[in-house]
A and B are shown apart, each in its own frame.
Chain A
Amino acid sequence: MNDTRPMIEVRGARKFFGPLEVLKGIDFSVARGQIVAVIGPSGSGKSTLLRSINHLETLDGGEVWLDGVQVNQKLDRRSFERHINGVRQQMGMVFQHFNLFPHLNVAENITIAPIKLKGMAKAEARALALKMLDKVGLADKIDAFPARLSGGQKQRVAIARALAMQPKVMLFDEATSALDPELVDEVNLVMKQLASEHMTMVIVTHEMRFAAEVADRVIFMADGAVVEEGSPAEFFRNPKQERTRSFLKKFLNG
């Protein structure tokens, strides 16, 4: 296996919503095992960028590659559907609002994809669910329904659900923004643990402190473009762009 090949590569990503250009040609890549935090003001295009990595948004221009395979390749509709489903199985995504399946209990939330998509046997899938729940500290909730869980617990189950597909990368879109402040740490802790296991991650976040702690690289976006990027140390201590400085200042004062 070619370990120098980037795990995720985005080249010249452009996206319009109607007349609004939301991504104005974005380039970035994420190395195997690297953790990239994406920060920036509201509306700068962070979610759109993250969602176009697994094709929840369709780019109008540019390319996305996952581990040497182009995600947004041109295929006829049927072939593309098959292709993208396969690609998505290799990328875990965690949403701001958890999006657990409310009609399924915790175990079923985690096992439905391995069972239905990978043909895993039920018993094996349950064992896998238990293992994933152990990872996020919720093994005792395996038979609970989502409605009975706190926000922090829901998000940890959502992470376990994504991990159960054994993805190559994990994408987080403000995983803690919808949580009460006292529940943020339990989710951050799980993400840090994933980081220590060298999971490749792209983390969109509003939490500067967390980004500084967990990320290998920080990308600052504004108005659909990457304004500045660097290691957390240089980025937070010594931002080069005026735009970055004013953004960080607002955060530190606010």
Chain B
Amino acid sequence: MQGLDFSIVPEYWPLIGKGLWWTVVISTASAVLSVLAGIGFALLVLYASPVVRYPVRLFMWLFMGTPLLLQLFLIYFGLVQIGIDIPAIWSGIIALSLHFAVYNADIFRAGIAALDKGQTEAARSLGFGAWRTRIYIVVPQAVRGTVPAVGNMMIALLKESSIVSMIGIAELVHSAQLVISETYRPFEFYLTAAALYYGLNLILEAVLRGIERKVELSR
């Protein structure tokens, strides 16, 4: 049996660091897009005409009912077949964004429904039209009210982002695997990756707490 030896970790830091970088990039891009798309889906599901509303609902329902891995494969391997060739990084970002956008949309929808009717009436009585009321009054408040729930989704997203390793993207887990295949040191490098995820999580939670505190003040 081999003893544990973490002293070899620094030697492979360039590779691991690159993996960490991609995990951060992919997660951040997907988080931002999933929030924006989530707001968009929620608004469409709530307010768009039936011609738009029902397809969006069907789409959301399909995305909720299938695994992220399948969605990723469908976007990366499947779409090529019909002539849509999306690079791996973008396939990963799109799959993660859409997958979490659907959940975020559900959260936003509930957040909008929970808003006091008086808010809309006050805006309408000032002369705001229906859409302006949504954009300036309803959405900003719903977003603020749902920071904790959406934040939990973003923590899940960070961890789930490792799934893009399945289409060959050298994010953190995949980088660790590459290093392990060279060094035969799974324990050290998986633990290193775990520690890095943990660190990212701490940072994300701090950011979320910051946002929560900021929006709390303005309630």
Contacts and interface: CB of A to CB of B under 8 A. Distances in A.
Interface of A: 54, 56, 81-82, 85-86, 88-89, 91-93, 95, 97, 99-105, 112-113, 116-117, 145, 147, 158, 161-162, 165
A101 B126 contact: no
Contacts of B141: 101-103
A85 B127 contact: yes
Interface stretch (B72-80, B96-104, B117-125, B165-173): B117-125
A233 B192 CA distance: 85
Going nearest first, the 9 A-B pairs with the smallest beta carbon separation are A89-B127, A99-B122, A99-B118, A93-B125, A113-B126, A88-B127, A85-B127, A102-B219, A103-B140
Contact of A54 (B123, B125, B128): B125
Contacts of B132: 116-117
A121 to B, nearest CB: 17
Contact of B128 (A117, A161, A162): A117
A90 to B, nearest CB: 8
B117 to A, nearest CB: 9
B143 to A, nearest CB: 9
B81 interface: no
Contact of A113 (B127, B144, B215, B218): B127
A56 B119 CA distance: 13
Contacts of B128: 85, 113, 116-117
B116 interface: yes
B213 to A, nearest CB: 14
B116 A99 contact: yes
Contacts of A85: 127-129
Given A102-B218, A102-B219, A147-B219, A112 B136 contact: yes
Interface string B47-68: 0000000000000000000000
B39 to A, nearest CB: 15
A116 B136 CA distance: 9
Interface in B107-150: 116, 118-119, 121-130, 132, 136-137, 140-141, 144
Interface of B is mostly: helix
Contacts, number: 69
B217 interface: yes
B218 A105 contact: yes
Nearest to B129: A85
Interface of B: 116, 118-119, 121-130, 132, 136-137, 140-141, 144, 215, 217-219
Given A86-B127, A89-B126, 13 more contacts: A81-B130, A85-B129, A88-B127, A93-B122, A95-B118, A95-B122, A97-B118, A101-B122, A101-B141, A113-B126, A117-B127, A145-B218, A147-B219
A83 to B, nearest CB: 11
B125 A91 contact: yes
A99 B219 contact: no
Contacts of B124: 56, 88
A101 B121 contact: no
B219 A117 contact: no
A103 B127 contact: no
Nearest to A145: B218
Given A116-B128, A162-B126, A145 B118 contact: no
A229 B125 CA distance: 27
A220 to B, nearest CB: 25
